[in-house]
Amino acid sequence: MAVSVDEAVSTGPARDHTPPARRLGGRGRSVLEVALLTVLAVVMLFPVLWMIETSIKENRDVYAIPAKFFDFKVTLDHYKDVFVAPDGGRSALSVSFLNSVVVAGASTVLATVLGVPAAWAYSRFAVKAKKDQLFFILSTRFMPPVVVVVPIFLMYRQVGLIDNKLGLILIYTAFNVPFTIWMMKGFVDEVPAEYEDAAMLDGYTRLQAFRRFTLPLLVPGIAATAVFALIFSWNEFVFATFLTSSDSVRTAPPAIAGLIGGTTTDWGLVAAASVVFALPVLVFAYLVRKHLIAGVTLGAVRR
Amino acid sequence: MGTVAVQGLCKSFGKVQALDGVTLDVPDGSFFVVLGPSGAGKTTTLRAIAGLEKLDAGSVHLDGRDATGDTPAARDLAMVFQSYALYPRHTVYENIASPLRARRCSSSEIAAAVEQMSSLLHIERLLQRRPAQLSGGEMQRVALARALVRRPRAFLMDEPLTNLDLKLRVEMRTELTRIHRSLGATFVYVTNDQVEALSMADQVAVLKEGKVQQVGTPTEVYERPANQWVAGFVGSPPISLLACHAEGDRLVGAEGWTLPRPRWTTAEDGRALLLGLRAEDLSVEQRGSASLSGELYGLEPLGDRTVVDVRVGTQILKVKARPTVTGTPGERLLVTVDLDRAHLFDAGTGLSLSEAGR
């Protein structure tokens, strides 16, 4: 994403024309490089591996000292516990997963529906103090969410949005809209305004021109932007912790965190819940990996 | 009917004044060319007519009716963009059909109109392709077909031939003229290519820095440029301009040369003037009473003719000569001037002084 305001507001997309830097030590990777990458990979992946291992170990193997890396009995009981309560009904965790889906999904849809037309407007129209407005929009993301959690809590208490899914949806939307506007503006800038000009001369209104000719070209950008918004809402922890309390409203991050503590902690259940929680984001990121890198490429305008 | 009249168009982009009081009158059925260098405001003028640009001041009248506030759709115009602006997700067929779809024509009407247009422009075999699969010339034809598929009040064309190679450009020039004649419709055509302007236009408006410099037939603009700038912009090789002043019955150049004072000029003695001489009104082969002495600076053989550069004092005169002309640089030679066809401009204002006496 663009970093400076000037760059992002400029009319043309700034492209990087510098040639890729040549790799140290010629073609192959140097021993040092491989060593460093290996260390990095181990540091990054060990917790993930440990989480997956823990989720399929029996409880006594989880606490075994020395730790068992390979020599343990595989069980899927923890995964069953994630979804099914001890009494056979739905578990509180599975409800929280459902809440996460609803909250993250709704806030992403809302942010996209609000942000895409706004981005289009900022890209296409001469808006007064456009740069200042865009900077203001971006500035709402400058401070860490935890700074505003208390004021938000007090306001929400006044209007009855505490422990309410709608409250979470609104706050996540508020965080995602600026991001959506900024990212989508880049994509809209890439689509030549002439398509809309031509469509208007064909006899369409401005909105029809946008809907029929520009919007279809924005679909890859919208997909990429929506996934980022989804990931934010899915992973959000601070607001979810402060603004919700009951099991029926709580989203997955605070629900999983709530498993830790008390007299004993069922680490197998924590690990299994974490794996289940991590999967959707990984799958989405994988599905849109091309869009995350590539912008929209078009072929019909000679520049 | 299809008259386009714009009055006092003003438009600025930030600090840049793109249009500064542009007034044009396009008669019904004419091929009207707006000519100017890049940045002159040609495209902005066209976009203002189309309703794509919000104006700071001025009005647009279509068929005598004020259309200044109308949406592009309501103006009933068609436009060919310089970039062609073909819809990338649509087939050629759908691109051409788009203006008809927007106006809710029946699909049988659309099919008939698209078929007619595609055969007129020889693009029948491209109908199922997408713009990315077309060459530049093909895209240009599709863009033209999309505009011509309707019968709007007027056609607006924004440098439609600029992106084509030279051979295709010459072909399309003829074809556009033919289409214009067969339709009898009003064309407003923007270009920076004076050859296009002179060869295709009924009327030419020369634009510079958002101001209209001159409006007239191609012959008028070429033969009687309103000012020094138009004289320099229209014509290739460019007109040679020599600083001089009148002294009795002679013109005395800043470089010391003298020529008989043309009969038609009324400029008073001593006024700073610019003498404009077109390459074809100069000769290195004939002998005449009015001549300038200079030295050969260089030869530019162009096949059908050779342009001889002659240095007179510190200035270079461009002289059109037969392709067989030879010479070595530095050689002294005499340039005969056809003073009846020369132009005089006020050196201060740049305005032509030739009109009054002719």
For the stretch A171-199, pLDDT in tens is: 999 999 999 999 999 889 989 999 999 99
pLDDT at A270: 92
Mean residue pLDDT of chain A comes to: 84
Show which of B208, B226, B244 is a domain's final residue.
B226
- CATH number for B17: 3.40.50.300
Pick the more confident residue, A303 or B355.
B355
Average pLDDT over residues A124-140: 90
Give B189's strand partners: B33, B157
Mean residue pLDDT of chain B comes to: 91
**Cβ-proximal residues to A274 (8 Å cutoff; 6+ apart), any chain:** A51, A55, A256
pLDDT at B14: 86
Which of these ranges, A47-51, A93-97, A260-264, has the smallest mean pLDDT?
A: A260-264
Its pTM stands at 0.81
B213 and B241 belong to one structural domain: no
CB contact under 8 A, B102 and A203: yes
Closest among B232, B349, B227, B217 to B279, alpha carbons compared: B232
Q: What tens digit of pLDDT does each residue of A213-272 get?
A: 999 989 888 988 888 899 899 999 999 999 998 989 999 999 999 888 877 888 889 999
Show which of B226, B251, B284 is a domain's final residue.
B226
pLDDT at A1: 40
Contacts of A201 in chain B (CB under 8 A): 50, 52, 72-73, 77-79, 99
Average pLDDT over residues A137-157: 89
The first and second tokens of residue B272, run together, are 């700073």
Contacts of A126 in chain B (CB under 8 A): 54
Residue A18 has pLDDT above 50, yes or no: yes
Contacts of A213 in chain B (CB under 8 A): 87
Contacts of B84 in chain A (CB under 8 A): 300-302
Show which of B197, B226, B255 is a domain's final residue.
B226
Instruction: Determine the distance in angstroms separating the CA of A25 from the nearest CA of chain B, rounded to an integer.
Output: 41
Q: Which CATH fold would you assign to the domain A92-293?
A: MetI-like fold (1.10.3720)
Q: How many domains does chain B have?
A: 2
Residue A65 has pLDDT above 90, yes or no: no
Residue A2 has pLDDT above 70, yes or no: no
Q: Is the residue at B358 inside a domain?
A: no
- Rounded to whole angstroms, the Cα distance separating B18 from B41 reads 5
- CATH number for B248: 2.40.50.140
B241 and B138 belong to one structural domain: no
B171 and B288 belong to one structural domain: no
Average pLDDT over residues A18-39: 72
B278 and B304 belong to one structural domain: yes
Residues 123-182 of A with CB under 8 A from B: 126
Supply the ipTM of this predicted assembly. Answer: 0.86
B102 and B201 belong to one structural domain: yes
**What is the number of CB-based contacts under 8 A between chain A and chain B?**
81
Report the b/e string of B27-59 with b at 16+ CB within 10 A.
eebbbbbbbbeeebbbbbbbbbbbbbbebeebb
Q: What tens digit of pLDDT does each residue of B183-235 get?
A: 999 999 999 999 999 999 999 999 999 999 999 999 999 999 999 999 999 98
B98 and B176 belong to one structural domain: yes
CB contact under 8 A, B83 and A199: no
Give every residue of chain B whose pLDDT is below 70, as ranges.
1, 355-358
Instruction: Determine the distance in angstroms separating the CA of A209 from the nearest CA of chain B, rounded to an integer.
Output: 10
CB contact under 8 A, A201 and B79: yes
Which of these ranges, A36-40, A299-303, B53-57, has the smallest mean pLDDT?
A: A299-303
B252 and B191 belong to one structural domain: no
SS3 assignment, position B53? coil
Q: Is the residue at B290 inside a domain?
A: yes
Q: Is the residue at B357 inside a domain?
A: no
Q: Is the residue at B351 inside a domain?
A: no
pLDDT at A293: 62
Cite the residue boundaries of each domain of chain A with CATH code 1.10.3720.10. Answer: 92-293
Residue of A nearest to B146 (CA): A202
Domain range enclosing B27:
4-226
